[in-house]
Structure 1
Amino acid sequence: MSGDPSALLDQPFGSFSALVSAWGECNGDQPALYDGQTTLSWRDTADRVERIAARLQADGLQRGQAVAILGTSSVNYALVYMAAIRAGGCAAPLTTSASPDQLRGMAADSGAIHLFIDRAKLTELGDFKLPISGQIVLDEELDAFMAAPGTKAAAFEPDDKDPFNIIYSSGTTGIPKGIVHSHGMRWRQVTFRAAQNYGQSSRALLSTPLYSNTTLVTFLPTMFSGGYVSIMGKFDAQKWLERAQAERITHTMLVPVQYRRLMQFPQFDDYDLSSLRYKFCTSAPFPADLKAEVLARMPGGLVEYYGMTEGGVSCILMAHEHPDKLHTVGQPAPGHGLKVIDENLNEVAPGVAGELVGRSNVMMLGYKNQPEKTREGYWTDPTDGSIWQRMGDVGRIDAEGFVELVGRTKDVIISGGFNIFPIDLETELAKDDRVVEAAVVGIPSDQWGETPVGFVVLKPGVGEDALDDIRAVANSRLGKTQRVSALYAIDEMPRSHIGKLLKTDLREIAQAK
């Protein structure tokens, strides 16, 4: 096309594939993708996406059919992701941290006939086979797989309801559910964020995996705005700082544990990060004190997103504009609705804590092959019959519409008939100068039903003999029904690949103790 391709983002709905092609023509030799080894120009990116898509179509890929991808994030991973969509299918990135049995379940659930897997993951699986007949080694066979240079894929004009991707939930047990996002949902999400923060000059550094919705929050609007994406296969604080400085990064998505590691890196202040315009965070609780430190020490705006991969409500905290609201996750995005309900599924009064339910135009199509699970995740407003997504979090809304999270519904501790929200206990423990990080879980108790048990990461030089005093100080500031019954030191909190705290693991440790 002639003119500025970003004009396409002003349309109510459009084709992501048309954007890639248009940016390929417009940006030509400008860099589009880099992973530490391979650099691709926009022209080469658009060409390879077309050639991979053409081969997928030649192999019989059907409209809406999944293309599975498994491995460490890379340039080739990103190409296959976009090519699956260009071919009329949908991208189905599989979680690398999943067990072999979980991977088998996800692969079967996806319905894919192609699996792009990197050599490292293939070696790790050994003789274990996944139920997908067409397997391509992502970092060795992609060039041979794709169609001849200059080949164009057959036209595909997406419908609003066509599946764009399947994100498999990060469940700790059983087979993760496949969350299906539509082209329409992604178009609305990408164009909103592109209008807010992104453009052709954006240079994004990604250090969370491409199988995660977290990463897509920055990857998709950067690519479809004609920007540059730098991919790290694994996060390392020093390497992140080196690349951010050398590549003049303007945008980045980091999870809270990554921000903490950067803040703790001894030479952090020696690096020039002046090119940063926006830093983003999502996926895990972001402590107010850590937000404050990031604001003080890293250039550019700090934006926290709260929401579910399934959709529902998205909240946005422009932390640099609201330094007095760092204990919240911000306000619902424009056009998004949020309500708070009690255990009987009735709406509660403003300021009262309860389960959050949200509604917006960026909700999933549903869980793949699991209609009953899809229905379980919804709340129906009795006043008008509208469908709302149950967010799985307990929270309250203040007088200005800012949302404060209190905890996960599944993590609420019921002790002696009282509801205890772990975040209240964690906040008190974390106030102690001897503590780096704190987490609280409930374990079974014959006397109380459940009782709170705490875990802390201690600062260097602080010994475990301080634990009793740390617990006593925190308990002195808590109500009688909230007090921590036991406190243990742990070297590092157990987390998923995208930084989610694994409280299931902590409960197992607590019960073993």
Structure 2
Amino acid sequence: MSVKSPSPDSPFVDLTAMIRQRAAEHGARAAIVCDDETLTFAALQAMIDRCAAALQRDGLSPEDVVAICASSSIQYASVFFGALRAGLAVAPLSPSTHPDSLVAMLENSRAQILFADDAVCQLLSSVTLPPALRIVNIGAAAQYDAWLAPVGAAPAQVEIQPEWAFNIIYSSGTTGTPKGIVQSHAMRYAYTLRSVERGYGPDAVTLIATPLYSNTTLVSFFPTLALGGTVVLMPKFDARQYLELAQREHVTHTMLVPVQYQRILGHPDFDRYDLSSFRAKFCTSAPFPAGLKADALRRWPGKLTEFYGMTEGGASCELCADEYPNKLHTVGRPLNGHEMRLIDADGREVAAGEAGEIIGRSPAMMTGYYRQPEKTAQAEWHDSDGRRFIRTGDVGRFDEDGFLVLMDRKKDMIISGGFNIYPSDLEQVIARHPEVVESAVVGVPSQRWGETPVAFVTLQPDSALNADELTAWANGQLGKMQRLADVVIVDALPRSPIGKVLKRELRERFSGAVA
């Protein structure tokens, strides 16, 4: 049975209405597969209605906010869609974030309900939550089912407006003030329409091996379901299990981060699995080494596409690796409808061929950082006509064919396992130790994570603190994805003539082997 996909000039439709349409067209088809459970489109549609009705029963109104902090599951997916159907914005939060940072994000989002699993409920038992916040445990099936509206319940209809917030994705689940990136319903719908040309549709089977709180995941998750395909969820990534699921479910699409490609291709049994069903593989979120791209092209069927961009939006680049095997050292060219420029430290555009900070504009730009207008303004650049661009903080240059070559990450952000770690946040934690004078955190190569953080630290003159003790102390204050691989105690941090710490020199100085 074929289903007509929306054309690029289609009028706005909210994604939950698209799910309702898919349920009417092929309700018995699998929508979500997770572990040993399969949810059909008809069952997903019914669960979305029950969730939306329960949210309305609990007094939530359009444009209110709910948060989800849990491992990927069918319940997670139903809550996300249910909240959207009720006109709410969803703040998906990382379960690996330090409890204090979770509280900060909950306070910033003003979420009225937190949907969490058992592990997160236990994690939050040691902190003081916002007084008005309610928690619904979606990890316990019986508790979640008891919270849902009765079977057969239907919510009051909400006319979703394109400019309403769809989700608030936090760019830094760390200490300090997190930044909530607001993306609209219009942006998500536009991305879904563009996904048709990448082969998403009723016959697509997408294997999701990254968490649902990540925008990396959502750019594949929502188009697959909205266009009538099947999502196969992996709550926890494992290379062998990934290969087994890909073969068993005849997977056609996947979005992975580079370290996952490395682990899958490096598995000793990789070549024994039948992956001939793959039509499209995507990669984003971290530097994708050219050699790894070449290996994927050589050994893994289907097209390989790398995306470069930010959750904040701006402009994105696309590299169709199989079409441009001589450009694997680049991240491709800007997408159609995306405009990208390079500027210097004074905000002036650089000459052709020169390197500069990457800025961009597109239909997929964030509305702004939630309730943080100053940070929103800092992330913006306007041209002489007043048009708004988003600053990436990355440095690059365009080659003679218009392909973007990334030079460095201006903000020194560390990307570990595909997730962002901000060194300044770790440095703030280390600075709390009474025997620490100052510190600088840099990312160093890691076979397992791609990059991992290492801290260079100076201590008080009379301190007897050793590196192992400080590492253990700091990691006790940090979220799971932030933890330090090592601490190096030094007499002084290298600095430029104007006093800036030379982090590149620290990276070069580090000679430890990191797994």
- TM-score between both structures, scaled by the size of structure 1: 0.82
Q: Quote the residue 1:349 is aligned against.
A: 351
Q: CA 1:438 to 1:158, structure 2 compared with 1: closer, same or farther past 3 Å?
A: closer
Q: CA deviation at 1:392?
A: 1.3
**Among residues 283, 286, 289, which one is paired with 2:288 in the alignment?**
286
Cα deviation 1:106-129 (Å, max 9, x = unaligned): 111111211111012212333434
**Among residues 494, 499, 514, which one is paired with 1:445 in the alignment?**
494
What SS class does the counterpart of residue 91 from structure 1 fall into? strand
Q: Quote the residue 1:491 is aligned against.
A: 514
Query: Equivalents in 2 of 1:399, 1:322: separation in Å?
Result: 14
Instruction: Find out whether 1:401 has 2:402 as its counterpart.
Output: yes
Alignment check: 8 A CA contact 2:280 2:303 kept: yes
Instruction: Find out whether 1:313 has 2:312 as its counterpart.
Output: no
Instruction: Find out whether 1:86 has 2:135 as its counterpart.
Output: no
Q: Any residues of structure 2 matched to 1:176-191 within 5 Å, and which?
A: 176-191=178-193
Q: Any residues of structure 2 matched to 1:329-408 within 5 Å, and which?
A: 329-381=331-383, 383-408=384-409
What SS class does the counterpart of residue 488 from structure 1 fall into? coil
Q: CA 1:406 to 1:191, structure 2 compared with 1: closer, same or farther past 3 Å?
A: same
Matched letter for residue 70 of structure 1: C
**Among residues 234, 245, 257, which one is paired with 2:247 in the alignment?**
245
Q: CA deviation at 1:15?
A: 1.8
Alignment check: 8 A CA contact 2:101 2:173 kept: no
Query: Equivalents in 2 of 1:35, 1:124: separation in Å?
Result: 24
Q: CA deviation at 1:446?
A: 5.4
Q: Quote the residue 1:52 is aligned against.
A: 51
Q: CA deviation at 1:45?
A: 0.4
Query: Equivalents in 2 of 1:6, 1:355: separation in Å?
Result: 38
Q: Quote the residue 2:467 is aligned against.
A: none
Q: Quote the residue 2:109 is aligned against.
A: 110
Query: Equivalents in 1 of 2:449, 2:188: separation in Å?
Result: 37
Q: CA deviation at 1:312?
A: 0.2
Matched letter for residue 445 of structure 1: P
Q: CA deviation at 1:195?
A: 3.2
Query: Equivalents in 2 of 1:395, 1:124: separation in Å?
Result: 40
Q: Quote the residue 1:467 is aligned against.
A: none
Query: Equivalents in 2 of 1:372, 1:184: separation in Å?
Result: 24
Cα deviation 1:148-169 (Å, max 9, x = unaligned): 2222111122212111011011
Alignment check: 8 A CA contact 1:338 1:359 kept: yes
Q: Any residues of structure 2 matched to 1:7-46 within 5 Å, and which?
A: 7=6, 11-46=10-45
Query: Equivalents in 2 of 1:76, 1:439: separation in Å?
Result: 32
Query: Equivalents in 1 of 2:278, 2:337: separation in Å?
Result: 29
Q: CA 1:109 to 1:435, structure 2 compared with 1: closer, same or farther past 3 Å?
A: closer
Q: CA deviation at 1:237?
A: 0.4
Instruction: Find out whether 1:234 has 2:236 as its counterpart.
Output: yes
Instruction: Find out whether 1:138 has 2:187 as its counterpart.
Output: no
Q: CA 1:440 to 1:453, structure 2 compared with 1: closer, same or farther past 3 Å?
A: farther
- The alignment of Structure 1 onto Structure 2 pairs a total of residues equal to 442
Q: Quote the residue 1:468 is aligned against.
A: none
Q: CA deviation at 1:196?
A: 2.9
Matched letter for residue 390 of structure 1: R
Query: Equivalents in 2 of 1:452, 1:362: separation in Å?
Result: 33
Q: CA deviation at 1:342?
A: 0.6
Q: CA deviation at 1:172?
A: 4.3
Query: Equivalents in 1 of 2:133, 2:229: separation in Å?
Result: 35
Query: Equivalents in 1 of 2:220, 2:166: separation in Å?
Result: 16
Instruction: Find out whether 1:218 has 2:216 as its counterpart.
Output: no
**Among residues 246, 264, 277, which one is paired with 1:275 in the alignment?**
277
Cα deviation 1:7-35 (Å, max 9, x = unaligned): 47761321212111111111111111111
Q: Quote the residue 1:322 is aligned against.
A: 324
Unaligned runs of 5+ in 2: 414-443, 457-492
Alignment check: 8 A CA contact 1:411 1:442 kept: no
With a CA cutoff of 8 Å and minimum separation of 6, indicate the structure with the bigger relative contact order. 2
Alignment check: 8 A CA contact 2:246 2:275 kept: yes
Query: Equivalents in 2 of 1:32, 1:346: separation in Å?
Result: 49
Q: CA 1:436 to 1:51, structure 2 compared with 1: closer, same or farther past 3 Å?
A: closer
Query: Equivalents in 1 of 2:248, 2:70: separation in Å?
Result: 26
Q: Quote the residue 1:423 is aligned against.
A: none
Query: Equivalents in 2 of 1:234, 1:282: separation in Å?
Result: 19
- Percent of aligned pairs sharing the same letter: 45
What SS class does the counterpart of residue 369 from structure 1 fall into? coil
Query: Equivalents in 2 of 1:436, 1:306: separation in Å?
Result: 19
Matched letter for residue 388 of structure 2: I
Query: Equivalents in 1 of 2:196, 2:128: separation in Å?
Result: 40
Alignment check: 8 A CA contact 1:442 1:452 kept: no
Query: Equivalents in 2 of 1:356, 1:405: separation in Å?
Result: 9
Alignment check: 8 A CA contact 2:7 2:193 kept: no
Q: CA 1:172 to 1:408, structure 2 compared with 1: closer, same or farther past 3 Å?
A: farther
Q: CA 1:230 to 1:435, structure 2 compared with 1: closer, same or farther past 3 Å?
A: closer
Matched letter for residue 218 of structure 1: S
What SS class does the counterpart of residue 149 from structure 2 fall into? coil
